Amino acid sequence: MGAELLHVEALPPTGQLIDGQWQEGGPLFTVEDKYSGRPIAQVAAATRAQVAQAVRVAKAAVDGGPPPPYERAQVLRRAAALMPAYRQRFVDVMVAEAGFTIVDANGEIDRAAVTLDLSADEALRLVGEVIPFGASPGAHRRMGFTQRFPIGVVCAITPFNAPLNTVLHKVAPAYAAGNSVVLKPSAFTPLTGALLAQLLLEAGMPPAFLAVLQGEGDSVGSWLLEEQDVAFYTFTGSTRVGRIIQQAAGLRRTQMELGSIASTIVCADADLERAIPKIANAGLRKAGQVCTSVQRLYVHQDILAQASERLVAFAATLRAGDPRDPDTKVGPLISEASAIRAESWLREAEQGGAKILCGGQRQRSVITPAVVTQAPDGGKVWCQEAFAPLLVIRPFEDFEAAMRDANNTPYGLSAGVFTQDIDRALRAAQTLRFGTVQINETSSARADVMPFGGVKDSGFGKEGPAYAIREMTEERLVVFNP
């Protein structure tokens, strides 16, 4: 079981959670340590019958009525309070199966506690609004208000690159709203989801309101799409899979956080002392495997040499390697195949005339942080989502042209602009077609309280507990006519 890589006591159950019971399932699949490549666990994939059973139990739970809001909030607050007791187990699991560095794993846990507390807050203030009937002739005697009710069974299909906090951005608001949840974690990182389920059950979540189904998207994910009792799908992943889910959902509601090519623009008046560390960390930490990682970096021609030199110097301080080493800042990619793919993209860019100013060397699943210039327009490092620790610099002179180029992708998740000019900042906010535009921040800055979501092929709907809870409820209008 790879005990030398992951303490046996840190291993959560490796089957399916249905109605509070852990079950074995169908074929076993291997979870590998992302740095060494050695196996750390064998996990049972859900069977078709278990998928149906999980949804059936979840539907009966929500049909029977959820616990009142105060009790739901108490469960979520207890879960947040349990995080310190579970911290080392979460760290051990995420370092092994996700390749997180120790710092990044601890950061994920800290944010998860915030997400739980925010969701508890929203459970207590899920209210409607009064309708101003006096605005319509002849309707002034009427009184009306809206109420919000659970939408039903929420299916959460979650990614490998934030296997704790992104999961909670789906599960916690869904339960805060009174829904039951069927969770399918990424097959790359199933253990973190299982450990979280253990924590939530200990915190008092009613067993029927949470199921965990392990397995691949092509099997378990497809079976979940066949279950008509699922009322809402919330998904973080590729645009390709998002389209499949949306097509299967039909008139059922969804929230999609999909692909991205994130851009950040650095103007001539930018404070580089502040900007460079933010940009380097946003593009290279977590091995660049964040949907908002800075990939396209537009730098004004007047500061190009200075900014490039500083970026290369900062990238050199981001040691890549074993995530268990406290000095490591950039851990492995999620698989050796992903690292080989990123390496091939860099070599292709070089052959097309690009210059790699630093990094780009591969050892198994680790890629050293790369800074690239002169990438060709049609090259993969410029035109496709890299999901790897690489930054591509492109100079600009015309700010409007830089914004047009940033807009010129199918995606629109997040963008950043560094400038001291308020008029330029407001122009960016009006022009950049992204779900989030950050001024004097990178595309990758995120606070868990904020609304988060994209436009175009980056999806639709919002995460962030206050916003997700509205997505996961039905609004009902009540009118009295004396």
Fill in the DSSP letter of residue 209. Answer: G
Q: Residue 4: is its pLDDT beyond 80?
A: no
Q: Please check whether residues 337 and 229 belong to one and the same domain.
A: no
Say if residue 214 is in the same domain as residue 299.
no
Cβ count near 264 (within 10 Å): 29
pLDDT in tens, 35-59: 999 999 999 999 999 999 999 999 9
SS3 content of the chain, % helix, strand, coil (to 5): 40, 25, 35
Q: List the beta strands (DSSP E) in 96-172.
A: 130-131, 143-150, 153-157
pLDDT tens by residue, 93-140: 999 999 999 999 999 999 999 999 999 999 999 999 999 999 999 999
Containing 102, the helix (H) or strand (E) segment is helix 102-124
Answer yes or no: do 308 and 193 share one domain. Answer: no
Query: Residue 7: inside a domain, yes or no?
Result: no
> Please, are residues 264 and 298 in contact by the beta-carbon 8 Å criterion?
yes
Same domain, 267 and 283: yes
Rounded to 5°, the CA angle 417-316-111 comes to 55
Residues 180, 154: contact at Cβ < 8 Å?
yes
Return the H-helix or E-strand segment holding 211: strand 210-212
Query: What backbone torsions phi and psi does residue 181 show, to the nearest 5 degrees?
Result: -130, 135
Provide the residue range defining the domain that includes 222. 16-258+458-479
CB 433 within 8 A of CB 140: no
Residue 322: alpha-carbon gap to chain centroid: 23
Q: Is residue 351 part of a domain?
A: yes
Place of tokens 């002392």: 273
Q: From edge to edge, which strands make up the β-sheet containing 262-266? A: 355-358, 370-373, 390-396, 294-300, 262-266, 414-418, 436-439
What pLDDT is recorded for position 25? Answer: 85
Confidence of residue 3 (pLDDT cuts 50, 70, 90): very low
Q: Judge whether 165 and 446 are in contact, CB under 8 Å.
A: no
Summarised one tens digit per residue, pLDDT across range 57-74 is: 999 999 999 999 999 999
pLDDT at residue 124 in the model: 98
Q: Note whether residue 337 is domain-resident.
A: yes
Examine the domain organization and report whether 243 and 334 are in the same domain: no
CA angle 457, 114, 326 (to 5 degrees): 90
Average per-residue pLDDT for the chain = 96
Give yes or no: residues 186 and 282 share one domain: no
pLDDT at 8 over 80: no
DSSP secondary structure, 419-437, as one string: -S-HHHHHHHHHH--SSEE
Which residue's entry shows tokens 């009525």?
65
Clarify whether residues 276 and 165 are in a common domain: no
Check residue 398 and report its DSSP letter.
-
pLDDT exceeds cutoff 80 at 6 = no
Return all residues near 329 (Cβ < 8 A) that are at least 6 apart.
101, 103, 285, 317, 318, 319, 320
Write the single-letter amino acid at 343.
E
Is residue 423 included in any domain, yes or no? Answer: yes
Q: Can you give the CATH number for the domain in which 428 is found?
A: 3.40.309.10
Length of the chain: 482
Distance of CA 456 to the CA centre of its chain: 17
Q: How far is Cα 298 from Cα 422, in angstroms, rounded to an integer?
A: 19
What's the pLDDT band for 2 if we cut at 50, 70, 90?
very low
Distance (Å, whole) CA 317 – CA 328: 10
- 38, 108, 379, 391, 409 from 375: Cα distances, Å: 35, 33, 7, 11, 16
In a domain, 4, yes or no: no
pLDDT digits (tens, 9 = 90+) for 181-201: 999 999 999 999 999 999 999
Closest CA to 100 of 192, 183, 238, 13: 192
Token representation of residue 320: 């890549």
pLDDT tens-digit profile of 406-449?
A: 999 999 999 999 999 999 999 999 999 999 999 999 999 999 99
Q: What is the pLDDT of residue 333?
A: 98
Same-domain status, 203 and 290: no
Long-range contacts of 370-377 (CB under 8 A, 24+ apart): 370/315, 370/346, 371/308, 371/311, 371/312, 371/315, 372/346, 373/308, 375/349, 376/349, 376/352
Catalytic residue among 32, 97, 122, 291: 291
Can you give the pLDDT at residue 176?
98
pLDDT of residue 366: 98
| Cα distance between residue 218 and residue 211, in whole Å | 19
What sign results for the dihedral spanned by CA atoms 203, 206, 210, 211?
positive
Kindly state the greatest CA–CA separation across the chain.
Answer: 77
440 and 466, same domain (yes or no): no
pTM across the whole model: 0.96
Q: What is the pLDDT of residues 300-352, one digit of tens each?
A: 999 999 999 999 999 999 999 999 999 999 999 999 999 999 999 999 999 99
Q: Are 321 and 449 within one domain?
A: yes
CB 354 within 8 A of CB 319: no
Q: Say if residue 158 is in the same domain as residue 279.
A: no
CATH number at residue 206: 3.40.605.10
Question: Using one digit for the tens of pLDDT, what is the confidence trace for 80-98?
Answer: 999 999 999 999 999 999 9
Contacts of 114 (CB under 8 A, 6+ apart): 80, 448, 449
Catalytic residue among 97, 257, 385, 441: 257
**Residue 230, pLDDT score:** 98
- Per-residue model confidence (pLDDT) at position 160: 97
Q: How confident is the model at residue 9 (pLDDT cuts 50, 70, 90)?
A: low
- Count the domains in the chain: 2
Confidence of residue 450 (pLDDT cuts 50, 70, 90): very high
Among candidate residues 286, 338, 314, the one with its CA nearest the CA of residue 444: 286
Q: Flag whether 279 is in a domain.
A: yes
Backbone dihedral angles phi then psi of residue 273, each to the nearest 5 degrees: -60, -35
Residue 139 within a domain: yes
Mean pLDDT, residues 453-466: 97
Burial of 23 (0-12, 13-18, 19+ CB in 10 A): middle
- Looking at residue 423, its pLDDT comes to 98
Report d(CA 209, CA 57) in Å as an integer: 8
- pLDDT category, 220, cuts 50, 70, 90? very high
194 and 274 both lie in a single domain: no
pLDDT value, residue 428: 98
Q: DSSP alpha helices (H): ranges in 9-101?
A: 48-63, 69-97
Active site residue 291: yes
Q: Please give the Cα distance from 84 to 109 (Å, whole number).
A: 9
| pLDDT above 70: percentage of residues in the chain | 98
Specify if 10 maps to a domain.
Answer: no
pLDDT of residue 7: 64
Element (H, E) at 394: strand 390-396
